[in-house]
Amino acid sequence: MRTIDLYFQPGSFPVSVSTVRHLAELCLGTLELITPVAFSLSLVTREEIAQINKEYRHKQGPTDTITFALEDEKDFIQSDEYPVRQLGDIFICYPVVQANARMHHKSVDEEFAYVFVHSLLHLLGYDHDTSAKKKCMFGLTERIIGNAI
């Protein structure tokens, strides 16, 4: 079992740390990553995500997730003295996840798993800014979620 340092702020939303760890383990295992990792996950309200979206992405309104990948920062340096890969921060808006679950005819747990895995992949350097990258990232997300069932 790999080391996952997780700072988890669930707020008042019904997601357990064991669920998050399980999904992270599935994601990292599917990718065959053995390096210890660290990241934070905060579950936030529509108002909180809308504020983050406005401040950092210059977009209006709530979204399901926003990630801040440390390795994307120009001045990021991974310390050799601290052998844990610092991934960054994930913010997930649980009320948007609930609404999207209804819209996609999924359970809230399934939609949360999808959004979390998608977010963690962003922290690991995956993106969907081209059609080829989108196909890769969304396919990988589906494969990881398939392993969870």
pTM of the model: 0.89
Q: What is the pLDDT of residues 28-57, one digit of tens each?
A: 999 988 888 989 999 999 999 999 999 999
DSSP secondary structure letter of residue 35: S
* 115-140 pLDDT per residue, tens: 999 999 999 989 888 888 889 899 99
DSSP per position, 113-143: HHHHHHHHHHHTT---SSHHHHHHHHHHHHH
Mean pLDDT, to the nearest integer, of 88-100? 96
**Tokens representing residue 7 in the block:** 């700072």
Instruction: Supply φ then ψ for residue 146, to 5 degrees.
Output: -60, -35
The predicted structure's pLDDT at residue 148? 64
Instruction: Give the residue carrying structure tokens 């669930």.
Output: 10
Q: What is the pLDDT of residue 77?
A: 61
Q: Determine the Cα–Cα distance for residues 120 and 126; give it in Å rounded to an integer.
A: 9
CA dist 126 and 7 (Å) reads: 21
pLDDT at residue 149 is higher than 60: no
Q: Where are the domains positioned within the chain?
A: 4-148
CA distance 71 to 53: 20
From the options 3.40.390.30, 3.30.429.10, 3.20.20.70, 3.90.1150.10, give the CATH code of 4-148. 3.40.390.30
Query: What does the mean pLDDT of the chain come to?
Result: 88
Amino acid present at 87: L
pLDDT at 7 over 80: yes
* Mean pLDDT confidence for 91-105: 96
Of all residues in the chain, the percent with pLDDT exceeding 70 is: 90
pLDDT at position 49 is 96
Burial (0-12, 13-18, 19+ Cβ within 10 Å), 132: exposed
